């Protein structure tokens, strides 16, 4: 399920792939006890290294400064260009930062024409995309450096057989080591083949029925659903599915009282009518479907629909965790792919290969078939079937020729893909789901069974959260209920069974051996969608370092000990607070916001809770807390697939256990080593893991211009989310409320739409050189978030006025304002394969990195002034969108 942009992280995708550089290791919260001789050796080595680098920079400084002034004569008169040696930061951190910036720039480019190329051209040229990756960028580089730190940590942990200690610290380290080793043992994984996933497949087939049976007819025809998910203002939800999208106190009160007047009981149940009413056969089918849904959802398999446990933004207390109903997403990234023949052909072939692999591994013989018939007969007798005696199979003397397995699976794959295509078409567009005004539709929990005739909510909840019975469920797109009910009622059981197994295989093939047929099929599809060669395998160590997220908070503790200091935590918190204060003070001066709205906005800004470094639930500082957190996760060095399932089940059980309770405010949605950040509207918090507080985003010893231009921009982005087109719908307590005046809302929407139109003009090129435009409505919240750069700049200038610091870097003939914007642009350096770029355009609420940097700076007067860009240049266009 896609993250709503108000909940969305700073970026999505391979930069933190599903897919975290602090060099100051001497200052850390939990330091290793090292001997003095080792320390002396390290210090000595660093001193020699610094002497070499410093001597290099003597020549580099002279040559580069002359070169830069020659290339950019129009900057010669800027007062900041002529600085004295006392203002130059010459510490090792500054020297290395300067070297990185110099190597990454293309000073032959005009900053007023293409600032992204000016700041990053050298970096882009020197960082080709690795053969096994979809992209390479600043975020992936930091993540790779963080993984190197984790690699050293894991390598230093004794193997399980070498340590018999029972204390919490060693038990946690054992789980971390064994998680990694279980992934790296590809010889064993290949030897096991598909055996690890077979118990899951068998549960689905034993519960719901086989798909490897003769199919009736050549095609499965589905009537197109009534609602295809395309939102427009003229759209009206049918009365029988209507729910108030925002704040209707009468309906919400009636829900709390156990009544609901916003939904009418359906006059008929189409699925039951079509199948003959609520007879025992239908009840049995519904129970089986519900059983399979609970089984697969608990294992993170997205089938038919999804439930999520999130804060009740429409209630009085947004911290109460409530049940949300989401549409299902397909095996392809976006709706558009289901209309592209080349991709559909490949996807159908992948589904066929997966079904064939499963069917060939568990094909029934004649004796098993007769046994199944006999068991079915006894079940029919027990149910009081009126069809006794049933027609007995004909003579075995001349058996009908059996259709080859490959032929049956080919037909079945076509039906499965068409079924999924109709499911995807029935869902809402992402820009609809990402708008809480439309997606907050509470209904009584008892109504779900009425609209989903194939589903039993009580049975499902008994499997997922047996102690909790919610009174209401928030449906993000009500028309989907009717559509999915119709589709499930019309699909045949073998096709539905094959759909379940396909989605299971697509979710978990990556935990099997690389030479397993299921892995080969899924990997081929994944590579194609990313633009990677079909047979290119991802670096196994990289895969396994990502896999330690199974025990991510344990890894986070070790990472924090090695790479994140107490001083950095305090300093970063100060940067965030300075930016929040600047935004707070600026609000009364925003012309489009009236006084009442500005005061309410100030109240919300003051209520925001910044969190930096690592969580306290589980407590990263306490090994016992971490041991308790992962107590239910049984990790072994030779069961990689089972380790994944165990961690997933434990995580989901904990999430469902919070249903109906207040959220623990010390918990986080990210691990400490993650290179990302996020804002959570119901919680009113902005969160910054230690993983992103590394160069080139942050260093404790850098000039403030660099830290505010890079990490400060990240902090301002998350802060501004609280006031973007989605976040602005939540008040200071995280509740969906109308807290701006109508006039302020109208003024805001005009400016927000200006930004949406601006970004809709931007595009990426597909692999054929065709333009694929950004959907400015989808990316609007993130683009508004990026516009918060102005607050980071103003906060930095205010801090610099109060406490000046050495502002210049050796070898760079740029003043502090210019360095601020160079640091900002550097954070978005990225090279992306065309196929991946197109996939991001279609699914990611973030604009492409080039446009995140370029679009933001085009609207910022401080940037135009810093680089003296004249009106009418590409970086200072006539038409601009000003929000703050």
Rounded distance between C-alpha atoms, residue 458 and residue 446, angstroms: 9
468-483 pLDDT, tens digit each: 899 999 999 999 999 9
pLDDT band at 808 (very low <50, low <70, confident <90, very high): confident
Q: Is the pLDDT of residue 23 over 50?
A: no
Strands 609-613 vs 685-689: parallel, antiparallel or unpaired: parallel
Q: Which secondary-structure segment (H or E) carries 135?
A: strand 135-137
Q: Is the dihedral of CA 482, 487, 490, 491 positive or negative?
A: negative
Most confident of 71-85, 382-396, 807-821, 867-881: 867-881
Q: For residue range 37-48, what is the model confidence (pLDDT) as tens digits? A: 333 333 344 434
Q: Two tokens at 870? A: 């004249």
Question: Could you give the CA distance from residue 431 to residue 443 in angstroms, rounded to a whole number?
Answer: 22
Taking alpha carbons only, the member of 353, 372, 349, 370 closest to residue 361 is 353
**Domain at 282-364+405-508+519-538: CATH architecture:** Orthogonal Bundle (1.10)
**140 pLDDT band (50/70/90 cuts)?**
very high
User: What confidence tier does 87 reach under pLDDT thresholds 50, 70, 90?
Assistant: confident
SS (H, E, C) 736-753: ECCCCCHHHHHHHHHHHH
Task: Return all residues near 713 (Cβ < 8 A) that are at least 6 apart.
Answer: 786, 788, 789, 792, 824, 827
User: What does the pLDDT read at residue 279?
Assistant: 52
Interatomic CA distance for residues 616 and 624, integer angstroms: 12
Smallest CA-to-CA distance from 800 within 528, 499, 578, 551 is with 578
The three-class DSSP label of residue 320 is strand
Return the pLDDT at 84: 53
Which tens digits make up the pLDDT trace of 183-200? 999 999 999 999 999 999
How many Å apart are CA 139 and CA 52, to the nearest integer? 29
Distances (CA, A) of 609 to 57, 320, 567, 666, 734: 42, 18, 19, 11, 12
Task: Return the structure tokens found at 395.
Answer: 């003579």
Which of the four pLDDT bands, split at 50, 70 and 90, describes residue 85? low
The answer to whether 810 and 87 are in contact (CB under 8 A) is no
Q: Do 835 and 766 contact (CB within 8 A), yes or no?
A: yes
Residue 6 predicted with pLDDT over 90: no
* Cα 263 off chain centre by: 33
pLDDT over 60 (residue 743): yes
**pLDDT exceeding 90 applies to what percent of the chain?**
74
Select from 694, 359, 354 the least CA-distant residue to 521: 354
Could you tell me the maximum CA-CA distance found in the chain, to the nearest angstrom? 102
The pLDDT tens digits for 263-277 are 333 333 333 233 233
Q: Other CB atoms closer than 10 Å to residue 849's CB: what's the count?
A: 25
pLDDT in tens, 523-557: 999 999 999 999 999 999 999 999 999 999 999 99
Distance CA 750, CA 727 (A): 16
Query: Which residues of the chain are in CATH 3.40.390.10 domains?
Result: 92-151+548-646+664-867
Least confident range of 238-247, 326-335, 520-529, 858-867: 238-247
More confident position, 33 or 691: 691
Which architecture characterizes domain 92-151+548-646+664-867 according to CATH?
A: 3-Layer(aba) Sandwich (3.40)
First-to-last alpha carbon distance for the chain, in angstroms, is: 32
Average pLDDT over residues 310-331: 96
Q: Are 546 and 19 contacting, i.e. CB atoms less than 8 angstroms apart?
A: yes
Residue 8: pLDDT band by 50, 70, 90 thresholds?
Answer: low
Task: Evaluate whether 342 touches 493 at the Cβ level (below 8 Å).
Answer: no
Residue 577: which residues within 8 A CB-CB, separation 6 or more?
Answer: 610
Residues of the chain with CATH 1.10.1380.10: 282-364+405-508+519-538
């Amino acid at each position: 399920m896609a993250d709503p942009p108000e909940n969305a992280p700073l970026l999505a995708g391979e930069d933190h792939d599903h897919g975290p550089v602090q060099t100051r290791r001497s200052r850390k919260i939990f330091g290793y006890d090292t001997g003095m001789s080792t320390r002396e050796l390290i210090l000595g080595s660093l001193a020699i290294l610094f002497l070499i680098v410093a001597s290099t920079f003597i020549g580099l400084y002279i040559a580069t400064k002359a070169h830069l002034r020659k290339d950019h004569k129009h900057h010669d008169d800027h007062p900041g260009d002529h600085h004295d040696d006392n203002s130059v930061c010459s510490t090792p951190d500054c020297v290395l930062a300067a070297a990185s910036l110099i190597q990454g720039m293309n000073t032959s480019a005009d900053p007023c024409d293409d600032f992204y190329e000016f700041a990053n051209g050298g970096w882009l040229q020197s960082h080709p995309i690795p053969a096994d990756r979809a992209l390479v960028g600043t975020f992936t580089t930091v993540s790779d450096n963080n993984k190197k730190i984790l690699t050293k940590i894991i390598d230093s942990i004794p193997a399980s057989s070498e340590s018999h200690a029972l204390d919490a610290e060693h038990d946690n380290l054992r789980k971390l080591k064994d998680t990694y080793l279980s992934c790296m043992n590809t010889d064993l994984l290949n030897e096991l083949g598909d055996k690890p996933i077979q118990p899951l497949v068998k549960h689905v087939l034993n519960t719901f029925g086989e798909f490897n049976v003769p199919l009736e007819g050549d095609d499965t025809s589905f009537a197109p659903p009534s609602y295809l998910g395309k939102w427009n203002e003229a759209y009206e939800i049918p009365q029988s599915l209507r729910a108030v999208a925002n704040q209707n106190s009468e309906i919400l009160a009636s829900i709390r009282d156990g009544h609901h007047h916003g939904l009418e009981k359906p006059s008929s149940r189409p699925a039951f009518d079509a199948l003959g009413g609520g007879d025992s056969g239908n009840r049995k089918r519904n129970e089986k479907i519900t059983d399979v849904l609970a089984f697969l959802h608990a294992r993170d398999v997205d089938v038919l629909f999804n439930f999520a446990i999130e804060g009740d933004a429409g209630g009085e207390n947004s911290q109460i965790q409530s049940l949300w109903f989401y549409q299902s997403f397909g095996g392809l990234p976006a709706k558009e792919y289901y209309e592209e023949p080349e991709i559909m052909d490949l996807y159908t072939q992948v589904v066929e290969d997966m079904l064939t692999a499963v069917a060939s591994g568990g094909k029934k013989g004649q004796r098993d078939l007769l046994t199944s018939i006999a068991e079915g007969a006894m079940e029919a007798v027990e149910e009081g079937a009126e069809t006794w005696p049933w027609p007995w199979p004909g003579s075995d003397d001349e058996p009908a020729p059996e259709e080859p397995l490959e032929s049956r699976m080919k037909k079945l794959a076509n039906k499965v893909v068409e079924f999924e295509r109709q499911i995807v078409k029935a869902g809402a567009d992402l820009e609809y789901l990402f708008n809480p005004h439309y997606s907050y539709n509470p209904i009584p929990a008892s109504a779900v069974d009425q609209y989903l005739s194939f589903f039993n909510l009580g049975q499902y909840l008994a499997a997922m959260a047996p102690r909790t019975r919610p009174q209401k469920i928030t449906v993000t797109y009500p028309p989907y209920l009717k559509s999915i009910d119709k589709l499930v009622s019309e699909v045949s059981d073998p096709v539905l069974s094959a759909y379940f197994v396909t989605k299971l295989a697509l979710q978990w093939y990556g935990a099997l051996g690389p030479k397993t047929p299921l892995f080969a099929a899924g990997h081929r599809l994944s590579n194609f969608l990313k633009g990677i060669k079909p047979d290119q395998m991802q670096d196994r160590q990289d895969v396994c370092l990502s896999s330690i997220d199974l025990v991510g908070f344990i890894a986070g503790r070790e990472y924090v000990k090695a790479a994140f200091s107490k001083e950095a935590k305090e300093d970063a918190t100060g940067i965030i607070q300075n930016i929040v204060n600047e935004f707070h003070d600026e609000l009364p001066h925003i012309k489009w916001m009236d006084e009442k709205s500005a005061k309410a906005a100030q109240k919300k800004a003051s209520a925001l809770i910044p969190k930096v470094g690592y969580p306290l639930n589980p407590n990263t500082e306490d090994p016992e807390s971490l041991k308790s957190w992962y107590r239910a996760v049984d990790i072994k060095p030779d069961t990689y697939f089972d380790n994944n399932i165990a961690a997933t089940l434990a995580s989901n059980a904990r999430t469902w256990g919070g249903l109906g309770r207040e959220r623990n405010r010390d918990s986080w949605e990210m691990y400490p080593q993650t290179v990302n950040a996020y804002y959570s509207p119901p919680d009113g918090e902005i969160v910054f893991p230690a993983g992103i507080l590394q160069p080139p985003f942050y260093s404790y010893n850098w000039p403030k211009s660099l830290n505010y231009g890079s990490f400060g921009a990240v902090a301002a982005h998350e802060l501004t989310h609280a006031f973007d087109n989605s976040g602005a719908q939540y008040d200071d307590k995280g509740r969906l409320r109308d807290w701006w005046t109508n006039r302020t809302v109208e003024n805001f929407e005009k400016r927000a739409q200006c930004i949406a139109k601006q970004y809709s003009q931007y595009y990426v090129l597909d692999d054929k050189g065709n333009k694929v435009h950004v959907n400015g409505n989808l990316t609007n919240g993130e683009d508004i978030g990026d516009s918060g750069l102005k607050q980071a700049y103003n906060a930095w200038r205010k801090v610099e006025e109060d406490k000046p610091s050495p502002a210049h870097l050796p070898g760079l003939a740029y003043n502090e304002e210019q360095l601020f914007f160079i640091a900002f642009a550097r954070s978005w350096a990225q090279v992306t394969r065309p196929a991946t770029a197109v996939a991001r355009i279609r699914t990611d609420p973030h604009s492409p990195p080039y446009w995140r940097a370029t679009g933001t700076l085009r609207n910022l007067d401080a940037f135009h002034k810093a680089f003296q860009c004249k009106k009418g240049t590409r970086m200072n266009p006539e038409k601009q969108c000003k929000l703050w």
